[in-house]
Each structure stands twice: as C-alpha cells, then as structure tokens.
Structure 1
Amino acid sequence: MTGQLVTLDAMVTCSSDPSGGLGVSFFDGSELLATAPVSANGHSWLTTGFTATGTHDITAAYNGDDSCSASNGTTTITVSQAPSPPANNPGCLLCGLIDFQVGDIHNEVSVNSHNVTRIHK
C-alpha cells in the first residue's frame, strides 16, 4: 500500500565474500532508489515506501568487485492505494475498556465509538 514501508532483500551469490564491492543499487524502473552495502553472507537490504500506485519493476544491481562479477535481477511488485477512512466518523478505531490496578489504586480507561478516551477512578 502507498505509504507503507517495505524491505527489499537482494541476495548476491559468489564463491568469495561479496561485501567488498560497491554494494547493490536498487532501481524502480530507471529511477535509482538507493545503493546499499552487501553483508558478508551476501544480503543487501533497502527499506523504502512507494507513493505511486500500480506496478513497479524493481531491479537490484550488484556492482561487482575483483572477485565477484556484476549481476542483476528484476521483480515486479504491485502497490495499492491505502484505504481512506470514512468521511465524517471513522467509527471506533480502538474501542473498549482497559482495567488496571496498582496496589490500592484501581483505574479504568475507556474509548467510545467517537474515539473519546476517559479515565475512570
């Protein structure tokens, strides 16, 4: 969904440690999102969010080094629109009653359908 963070994970397979290279560049189509380092076990992660709905062609391009060849891979993800809250009254987002007691002190916290919070002593 738009605005929601996702973590992209690219795996570099090489007979030696791939972390000495220039990292993995993540692209959304032709737009560079970021370049992230590669760990010794070959993983490279990027946490990002998308503002545009629809399909996104994500490419992870490993830049290579002296012992590991450059490589890339592409996948397609679909981003949907985040749901809109109802117009005038979002209803009860978190309704209910919480009852807690510390020693001789007893309190209740309630949230009603208008999202009004009250502390009862």
Structure 2
Amino acid sequence: MKRVSILVTIITMFVFVLTAQAGEKEGDYFVGKWKLLVEGTPNGDSEMLVTFERNEKGEMIGTSGDAAGETPAVKFNRVEVTDDSVTAYWVAQGYDVYIFLEKIDDNSVEGSLMDMFDASGSRVVEE
C-alpha cells in the first residue's frame, strides 16, 4: 500500500509540472518588437527593428527591418526557438542572413548577426 501511495504521488507531481508548463510555448519571451544594435558591420553600426509573433498554428514568425522604417520589413524564412534563445533566417540583398539572440533579462537580448557582428537590444515597450 505504501508503494501505491508513493507511485500516485509521483504521477500527480509529474502531471502538475506538465500542466504548469503547457500554458506557455517555448520562446514566448521573444514575442514582440525588439530594437537591436548590430556593431561593426562593413557599413558601420546598424539599428534594426525585429518583430516576433505567433501565427495561427502557434509557430514563431517575424520580420526584420531598419529601425528608422525607411525600407520595408523582410519576413523571416525560418525561426528556431528555445526558451532562452532564438535564431531567425531571412534573405537580404540576395544573401542568406541570420541573427542569433539570447535572453539576458526581462527586456534585454544579446547575440550576433551571422556569428560575425555583435548584436544587443531591448524590447520596444508600446504605451
């Protein structure tokens, strides 16, 4: 009887943990707009506005554009996401480009563009 009680307790705890995690999808931290600074590119430092959102299937999608809004945003071809990082891929001026970002705190990220240029940014808070 003691074994059954222990087994029921373990199963109950397991179900509770799974239920608690089901409310959020992996990478939901990144959903929203991010203002990024990419340093040291051949054209100098560059400010970008990156947007991540979930589509109706629950998949992460998004766009990348310049922070000034002078050029139209480009849709990502693919987004790979974990709880603490995201990698987004798109085509810019005929080149395959990707950016990797990691969560730093509630509103900050750091990473790199093409593993060559340092990137840092903060969440755009809309009022």
TM bin, normalised by shorter chain, reads under 0.3
Over alpha carbons, which structure has the higher Rg? Answer: 1
- Please identify which structure carries the higher helix content: 2
TM-score between both structures, scaled by the size of structure 1: 0.26
TM-score between both structures, scaled by the size of structure 2: 0.25
